[in-house]
Structure 1
Amino acid sequence: MARTNPAQFIQQTRAEISKVVWPTRREVILTTVMVFVMAALTAVFFALVDIGIRSALEAVLNAF
């Protein structure tokens, strides 16, 4: 691999960064809200699964 000097590296880095499409403020807020909603739904789902497993296990143990 050919080595580049620091000036070329910085120039190439700036060229690549200029190609990046940065999200808008609205997109960032919407994505953040969706992450929190999905995390809350996942937490509720696993809480319900945990309660169901605990109830079933207690029923089995109380049967004996």
Structure 2
Amino acid sequence: MASKITNPFTFLQQVRSETAKVTWPSRRETLISTVMVFAFAIIAAIFFLLADQVMGYGVELILGIGR
């Protein structure tokens, strides 16, 4: 499978052309997305902390080991 070799200048022109076609998010959309990611990461961390505590308590109660 032979590939067509393109000179670097043409390649950079093509990259710039394709980049111009991209619809970039606004600053507000980026900020909202970032805040949502952090919020869901915190919610997931709290959930897994609570789940770990409950399971640890259950193991201690049933088997009498741990802590």
Higher relative helix content: 1
TM-score scaled by structure 1?
Answer: 0.88
| Higher RCO (CA-CA < 8 Å; seq separation 6+) | 2
Question: 1:5 pairs with 4, 7, 12, which one?
Answer: 7
Alignment size in residue pairs: 62
Q: Secondary structure at the match of 1:52?
A: helix
- Post-superposition Cα deviations, 1:30-58, rounded to whole Å, max 9, x if no partner, equal 00000011001101110111011011011
Amino acid at match of 2:14: Q
Deviation at 1:17, TM superposition (A): 0.8
Query: Which ranges of 4 or more aligned residues in structure 1 deviate by more than 6 Å?
Result: none
CA distance in 2, matches of 1:41, 1:22: 28
Alignment root-mean-square deviation, CA: 1.0
CA distance in 2, matches of 1:37, 1:6: 43
